[in-house]
Amino acid sequence: MKPFERLLLENKAWAEEKHLQEPEFFERMSQDQKPDFLWIGCADSRVPAEIIVNAQPGEIFVHRNIANQVITTDFNSLSVLQYAVDVLKVDHVIVCGHYNCGGVKAALNKQNANLVLVNKWLMHLKDIYRLHQKDIEGFHTDKDKANRLVELNVIEQVRKLTHTSIIQQAWREENRPVLHGWVYALEDGKIKQLIMLPPDSPIESIYQYTDALTS
């Protein structure tokens, strides 16, 4: 059996079992979604958002990319953010990184000439390293240095959310969402909270929008 065929069989078995357990499940799922959370996580296959927090389908709106980045020139992530905040009206936005992140470890090394696009994406992580180099280099092992950059990256991405017109407008007009920065440990499956910013959190003036907000 080919690997993709196994996935199709597993899907069929899951759907049938789910229907037996909850006959109304798929009818309920076919209605409009109303998640409370937007999850911005890493694309790493070991960190599936719903599974690690034991969430049910429909509870979390998920966006994942390499090293859980919030890049304000990336229309993909901004479109997800705007839809989650302005249409789905989520109350919480979570940026969740994880220790032993391959993207973060790659950013601490020289650029790979064969991965031109990946290099450009990781440049944002290299900038965070440059800004916090003294802090990161204070750790003795490469693993500890990388894990510290994982934490600093999560904190930076949460702060970047506050620099968007989407969050600023929602904070000003609807007093939501709360922003969270978490990190997941592959070794024990536990999540640690690094930062939480409620809607009344200060934003540096150079990042603030005037009354005429634009995306």
- Supply the residues annotated as catalytic: 42, 44, 46, 98, 101
Distance, in Å, from the CA atom of 201 to the CA atom of 183, rounded to the nearest integer, reads: 21
Which residues lie closer than 8 Å to 94 by C-beta, 6 or more apart? 37, 38, 39, 40, 41, 180, 181, 182
Say what angle helices 142-162 and 165-174 make with each other, to 10 degrees: 60
CA torsion sign, 128 to 134 to 139 to 140? positive
Cβ atoms of residues 96 and 59 within 8 Å: no
Phi, psi of 201, rounded to the nearest 5 degrees: -70, 145
Q: How many angstroms separate the Cα of 172 from the Cα of each of 26, 169, 210? A: 37, 5, 12
Dihedral class, residue 68 (left if φ above 0, else alpha if ψ from -120 to 50, else beta): left
Adjacent-strand bridge partners of 181: 95, 195
Instruction: Compute how many other C-beta atoms are within 10 angstroms of the C-beta atom of residue 57.
Output: 13
